Amino acid sequence: MNIKGPLQGLLVLEFSQYLSGPSAGLRLADLGARVIKIERPNGGDACRQLAIKNLWVDDSSLLFHTINRNKESFAADLKNKEDLELVKGLIKKADVMTNNFRPGVMKKFGLDYESVRKLNQKMIYAEVTGYGSKGPWKDKPGQDLLAQSLAGLTFTTGNGNSHPVPFGLAIADMICGAHLVQGILAALIRCQKTGKGAHVEVSLIGSLVDFQFEFLTTYFASRSLPHRSQVSNGHSLLSAPYGIYKTANGYLALAMMPVHKLRSALECELLGQYSEGEVFSKRDEIKKIITEFLIEHTTEYWLGKLIKMDLWAMPVMSWDDLTKHEAYRVISMEQTVVTGDGKQLITTRCPIRFNERILTSATGAPKIGDHNKSILEEFKNNNIA
């Protein structure tokens, strides 16, 4: 059963492709908004043709189906006058529209903010760019790995002597999409009070700068680049023992804790020589001692000792380990969605609970133009067709 969320009644037009913009559309859909993807009749969202691990559902990749569940699709060629008029009709009815084209593209269609505002004063017009709308990077492809590379992020992960290590997921797209949702919702709240629309802009690089705000603020103050620790780096601003360590049968994560408590929990006397004032400056030395010590016994053995003293430690788990665990089962994170063809897929659900209820929807991703007929029918009486 579909439980409608707090954004019930909200109409969102998504001119976005790939992940950053569509992940924002997905969250708005999760929260109960009606999200219509405006897609090129020929090919649609380019993400339909981008498969990861060569996994496909139908003509579109599993990746596309994951990002676009619970949305509708309206096929329109924005270069065709008739189609453009239909889309403008939808724009008059919508509350929010998103796009993540490179700067200038929406203007070519006559759908830049200034033009849209004339059609719909209250529109929340939300844009994602790679690097802003001006400057030397404005025409660079707004792609996740490139944004990570330019933003300095690849020097936060991995040990001190390793190469730049990117995050193994599309962090720029995801965090930027999350910021877009924040901006859209805050603008909607202002609109409720004042009736004013808004132009909301985020960029992949700006979002990654914000994401690294702790590091950059520290860098501004010290003017020295953060150093990843040589051993078990977990966070370059944090002292020993923060990191992941190998045990006799797996790996163990140790978060912040006083080294003298760690010493008594592990009964590792070598740690006794370090004062709390040295846990940052001598962290590599300390972490090396811990590394050599923890390898001797199993993860469970060490966890037993650490938990007894209420120290912050957990085992490293794979998805196999996690999904079999009761702690995973109780959060009911999975849901099944059904595509238009009746194919079933398992995916995750919205991570936010309202009034102690999870939000789910069994509606899968649409085919290109799946909803043209129903949308035109529905809006016929509103001068759209």
Partner 1 sequence: MLLQDIVVVDFSQFLSGPSAGLRLADFGAKVIKIERPVTGDICRSLYVSDVKLEGESTIFQAINRNKKSFVADLKTRDGLEKVKKIIAGADVLIHNFRPGVMDGLGLSYENVREINPGIVYAEISGYGNAGPWRSKPGQDLLLQAVSGLSLLSGDRNDPPTPMGVSVVDIYAGTHLVQGILAGLYQKNRTMKGVIVQVSLLESILDFQFEVITCYYNDGHQLPERSEISNANAFVAAPYGIYKTLDGYLALAMSSIPLLGELLKCNSLIVYKDSTEWFSKRDEIKLILSDHIKTQPTDHWLNILEPADIWASEVLDYQGLTHHTGYKILEMEQEVITGNGMKMKTTSCPVRVDGERLTSSIGAPSLGEHNSDIEKQLGLT
If binding is defined by CB under 8 A, does position 118 make contact with partner 1? no
Binding mask 164-203 for partner 1 (x = CB under 8 A): xxxxxxxx--xxx-xxxxxx-xxxxxx-xx----xxxxxx
> Has 144 been annotated as catalytic?
no
Q: Positive or negative CA dihedral for 284, 290, 296, 297?
A: negative
Beta-sheet pairing, 344-348 with 334-338:
antiparallel
* 350 scored as a contact of partner 1 (CB under 8 A): yes
| Planar angle of CA 59, 63, 65, nearest 5 degrees | 65
Closer residue to partner 1, CB minimum distance, 11 or 255: 255
Q: Which stretch binds partner 1 (CB under 8 A): 75-83, 238-246, 267-275, 364-372?
A: 238-246
Sign of torsion over alpha carbons 303, 307, 313, 315: positive
Q: What is the closest distance, in whole angstroms, from the C-beta atom of residue 239 to partner 1 in the complex? A: 4
Cα 64 from Cα 257, distance rounded (Å): 42
> Binding of partner 1 at residue 361 (CB under 8 A)?
no
Among 2, 80, 121, 217, binds partner 1 (CB under 8 A): 217
Other Cβ atoms within 10 Å of 196 Cβ, number: 12
Say if strands 313-315 and 251-254 run parallel, antiparallel, or are unpaired: antiparallel
Q: CB within 8 A of 185, min separation 6: which ones?
A: none
Nearer to partner 1, 40 or 140 (CB): 140
Of 228, 243, 234, 237, the closest CA to residue 290 belongs to 243
- Closer residue to partner 1, CB minimum distance, 248 or 385: 248
Of 18-77, which residues contact partner 1 (CB under 8 A)?
A: 19, 27, 31, 50, 52-55, 62-63, 66-67
Bridge pairing between strands 243-246 and 251-254: antiparallel
- Find the binder of partner 1 among 84, 256, 268, 376 (CB under 8 A): 256
> Out of 161, 308, 330, 383, which residue is the one contacting partner 1 (CB under 8 A)?
330
Asked whether position 366 contacts partner 1 by CB under 8 A, the answer is no
Only segment of 80-88, 137-145, 367-375, 376-384 that touches partner 1 (CB under 8 A): 137-145
- As measured in angstroms, the least distance from the Cβ of 376 to partner 1 is 28
C-beta of residue 136 within 8 angstroms of C-beta of residue 204: no
Please give the backbone phi and psi of residue 59, each rounded to the nearest 5 degrees, phi first: -70, -15
State the DSSP code for 248.
S
Q: Counting contacts by CB under 8 A, is residue 295 touching partner 1?
A: no
Q: Residue 74 or 299: which CB sits closer to partner 1?
A: 299
**Span of 83-91, 219-227, 262-270, 370-378 interacting with partner 1 by CB under 8 A:** 219-227
One residue of 118, 267, 308, 326 binding partner 1 per CB under 8 A: 326
Does position 265 interact with partner 1 (CB under 8 A)? The reply is no
Cα gap 97→179, rounded to integer Å: 15
Catalytic residue (choose from 112, 173, 210, 310): 173
**Nearest distance, CB of residue 270 and partner 1, angstroms:** 20
C-alpha 138/C-alpha 136 separation (Å) is 6
List 15, 101, 242, 293, residue binding partner 1 (CB under 8 A): 242
Q: How far is the CB of 342 from partner 1 (least distance, A)?
A: 15
**Per rule CB under 8 A, is residue 308 in the interface with partner 1?**
no
In the complex with partner 1, the residue whose CB is nearer, 87 or 290, is 290
Residue 226 amino acid letter: P
3-class secondary structure, 319:
helix
Q: Closer to partner 1 at the Cβ: 36 or 62?
A: 62
Work out whether the CA dihedral 335, 339, 342, 343 comes out positive or negative: negative
Q: How far apart are the first and last CA of the chain?
A: 32
* Active-site residue list: 173
